[in-house]
């Protein structure tokens, strides 16, 4: 099966997407939601590109490397933004994004 060689990266992408979804939803509950706007936007972008990366790797797409390079860039941006914020959900998301970026760079 073509996706088996990408299992670690697929798992990192899926975990990152879940962390980003949770972070975005939690940011919307913060009292300073306006200050979290960039974090929320990046969370949404990151979750979507992580799901796309997992899907193209699962299919063994010829574009998997290209998508994973983009995914790594967006994950790094999301990690940097989330790391700026104190809430635990942001810190957890930053870690998941960094792990995903590393996995995607290794895959690409």
Residue spans of the domains in the chain: they are 2-107
Fold of 2-107: Substrate Binding Domain Of Dnak; Chain:A; Domain 2 (1.20.1270)
Give the tens place of pLDDT for each residue, 13-57.
Answer: 999 999 999 999 999 999 999 999 999 999 999 999 999 999 999
Please report the pLDDT score of residue 3 as a whole number: 63
Which residue bears the tokens 């995903």?
100
Burial of 28 (0-12, 13-18, 19+ CB in 10 A): exposed
Contact 69, 11 (CB under 8 A): no
Give the tens place of pLDDT for each residue, 54-104.
Answer: 999 999 999 999 999 999 999 999 999 999 999 999 999 999 999 999 999
- CA 24 – CA 41 distance, rounded (Å): 8
Please report the pLDDT score of residue 2 as a whole number: 57
pTM: 0.94
């Amino acid at each position: 099966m073509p996706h088996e060689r990408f299992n670690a990266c697929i798992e990192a992408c899926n975990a990152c997407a879940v962390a980003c979804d949770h972070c975005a939803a939690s940011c919307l509950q913060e009292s300073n939601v306006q200050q979290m706007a960039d974090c929320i936007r990046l969370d949404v972008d990151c979750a979507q590109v992580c799901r796309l990366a997992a899907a193209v790797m699962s299919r063994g797409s010829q574009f998997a490397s290209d998508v994973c390079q983009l995914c790594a860039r967006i994950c790094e941006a999301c990690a940097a933004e989330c790391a700026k914020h104190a809430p635990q959900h942001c810190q957890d998301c930053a870690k998941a994004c960094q792990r995903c970026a590393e996995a995607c760079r290794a895959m690409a």
